[in-house]
Structure 1
Amino acid sequence: MLELAVLGFLYEQRLHGYELRMRIAALTGHVRPIADGTLYPLLKRMENAGLLSRELEPGQAAAPRHMLALTADGRTALLERLRAPDELFITDENRWFTLLAFLRHLEDAPAQAVVLRRRMHFLTQPASFFWDGDRPLRAADFDDPFRRGLFTIATATTRTELAWLRETLATLEED
């Protein structure tokens, strides 16, 4: 998820590490704060893998800054991950939101539609937080207001997302 966010933000523009960290935190920080000890080693590995480059640029009022940019291989890697995301990017809500934040960079509408259809398929499969044997339990199965709340919120979120997916797919597929 973090690597996809790095690729996505650097696809849009060159950034220095602090700016990149702040953008990632705004997108995914509610899930897990981004520590320097996590981000900077990842950036070094991505640089060593040829996915990004680093250039020293004079600072405005302080020391020089290391500006990060995607290489051609980095741009290709992002587009490949958007075109054929791992299953966890379809089924895990936090990974899905990260993927969705950058799916516009995949400019091929049919390819975008394939990704959205995978998510729609996932959301329309029988699911529950709790089961009674093979039977998924629903909000009405609980007297507990907290579990009912969990189901009520999840159901409303899923319905809203499915409506958005149908609307967006109709737009993508009419072009």
Structure 2
Amino acid sequence: MLELTILGFLAEQPLHGYELKERIRALSGHVRPVSDGALYPAITRLLKAGKLAEHTEPGASAAPRRTLSLTEAGRADLLERLRHPKEADVTDGQRFFTVLAFLSLLPDPADQAAVLRRRKEFLDTPASFFYREGSPVRAEEMADPFRQGMLRVARATGAEERRWLDETLATLAG
């Protein structure tokens, strides 16, 4: 996910490391903060793979800044990751939000729709956080008010997401 996020933000514009880290933090930091120990090795891997380029710019009042930009190989990798996200990138809500943040970079609405249909198929599969005798437990059946709250919030969120998916898929279909 971190590499997808790096590629996505650099597809929008070249950035130096601190700016990139701030954008990643704003996108998902409250849920999954990114550390320098994760970010800079990921940048190094992408540089070595030829997916990023870097050049040095003078700093405003400090040392020179390393500015990163996306290469054609990086753009191709980004588009491939968006066209064919991993299963976990579709089924995990926060990871799916990261895919959504950059899905508009795919130029073909049919490719965008294919990703959204995968998410909708996942959401339409019956599931629950809790099971009794192999069957999902509904919110109304929960005596524990906190578990009941989890189920009610998940149901409401899922219903709204399905509505949005249906609307967006209709729009993409033209």
How does the TM-score come out when normalised to structure 2? 0.98
What's the CA shift string for 1:88-109, capped at 9, x where partnerless? 1100111100000000000100
Letter in 2 for 1:82: L
What's the CA shift string for 1:134-163, capped at 9, x where partnerless? 311110111111011001110110000000
Identity %: 57
Aligned 1:49-60 pairs, distance under 5 A:
49-60=49-60
2:134 and 2:119 map into 1 onto residues whose CA distance is 23
2:42 and 2:89 map into 1 onto residues whose CA distance is 19
Aligned residue in 2 for 1:16: 16
Aligned 1:141-160 pairs, distance under 5 A:
141-160=141-160
Aligned 1:73-152 pairs, distance under 5 A:
73-152=73-152
Aligned residue in 2 for 1:31: 31
Supply the RMSD in Å over aligned alpha carbons: 0.7
Q: Secondary structure at 1:56's aligned position in 2?
A: strand
Detail structure 1 runs of 4+ shifted over 4 Å in the superposition. none
Aligned residue in 2 for 1:161: 161
Task: Name stretches of at least 5 consecutive residues in structure 1 with no aligned partner.
Answer: none
The alignment covers a number of residue pairs equal to 174
How does the TM-score come out when normalised to structure 1? 0.97
Letter in 1 for 2:67: M
